[in-house]
Structure 1
């Protein structure tokens, strides 16, 4: 049988949903209410208790009637009747729940099943009581022990007595025949929904934490070829042009200070647009020195936009791509412009270069794939990375983010 929608009925409930200890008599409560294992455990517990109780009442009847056989018959009838009264409603609700209907339909059907069990319990009680009285009364009459009939009551007293009797029956049948189980069923549903919501929230938090950690690792790494090439350039310049070598080292130090995260206070995993623009500016300044001045650049954004939260390590990836695939392959001077603007409810950050332009294979590398993955983790389908040819020559890479999501991250 398929478990269908909802949670499994054959498995022990999670600790966050489970109510009750691990005692022998309450272990059935480890399973979902109105499941087959829950019903079997509850029935075994109730029938065991009822067997003891009806054994005593049967013995009492046998002593009162001075006939052990009548006592045994009365006790057995009570055992069967009370067991059915205790099990009918929950059994019907268990059948309903194992149909695995949609939740709203299942809830209504479970309530109706318990109510039907209560009505049937009333009929069983009347039949069993009549049978026991038919056994006991003749023997008591023969022994002269039949109590005298009560005096005829008035209409008001009859109505009051009937109402009191009905109320007592509702309480007895309701509690004994599945009313408490019905209450446990609804509270279990609520706890399961809360557990499922908390689990999904933990999974989402875990994915975001994983993405942040991956960003932290990326941000803590400087591409080996870039660092080695820069140091090799410095080594070559030490004797030929000490001033340029010193300028290159100063620019490298400024870039490393801007990019290496402060892992002790977790600041490397969270950043603002202004911080990311500063990292790009320090990187471009270093590349300008390394490339002998043939690179020019600009980094522009309003002061209000610079305070917005912005995922780390993404924008610098676009700038590195512009250098690697745009400016370096094309001889002569080159320019990179980084700008952030707000258009409607979207933040758009562009990296424009006038280099070699888009070539086959550009756009499918690991760097841009990581940018897309991080955007999807943080913003889903609401964020977008685009890579298009620029007017004339060069390329335009753009990240679009929803402003309300950024404002929510800052709250």
Structure 2
């Protein structure tokens, strides 16, 4: 990928010769040994669902044993002190283990989801047993019972999240995604072929390079929409797309790239769903540049804040295309929202806004590094 200054660079779209081919992009292997069945305990959605489930069971148990509301409330608050501490420590440990679990057999990963909460809960109970108020409040609690309950909750929640991951797999929306891509491909394909035809006699080498870029783009469009790639490869794909569109739009199309907290290492290692950014850039060209007779700037901002990546795509907003934008573009945006939700739960977000005559799409998702692939 072409290197940019960390600051702001306003440039025409790069020539086809300057863009590296994406034919070498390799999808992640589907080897079962490379699968991760440990829930992503770093994810806010997993943390919230775990705490809600555990506290709901605790509240139900307390209600069954309580006599009046005040005693039920007191018992629930006291029990929560122990339960919340054990839950948060277990989630923290599993969060770290989940990042190192590649290569572990599936049975070992499932076993860890039971062993970690059991060990953490046993340690917490032993540590809290040094205090008289704890012994007085939990006189009927045994260490063995607490460990077994924690192990049961651990394996039950792991099984729930594994089944949920399968049930809400992108397979369920793959048909809609393919229908959307089938709608996008002819539109883009016909425009690209017409642009290449206009170059065959006057600039045959440029036409040949454009056809090579078009072949690479179609190859990626035909890939499994569940595949993951790197941010670097996705940016290469966007540049190839912009190169082809530049043939048709000429000087009307200019791109402004910005980086904030994103060095080359982050860009080359950050994991991103395939075809997450390219459809957003395509919408920006179609609805922001194409309707204008003058030069229009598409602004692409790449930001990293803590362990989150934010991508902002901004293009001019034309009121006459507002209805078309709400009908056509919203399908692609809705699809990307679904993919983000399936991959990142509540930590994946896509928002849109119209700010100072500019249509802005903002995508946020966790920064996750690509895992090394054993050849």
**Normalised TM-score (structure 2):** 0.49
More strand as a share of residues? 2
Greater RCO between the two (CA within 8 Å, min separation 6)?
A: 2
**Normalised TM-score (structure 1):** 0.46
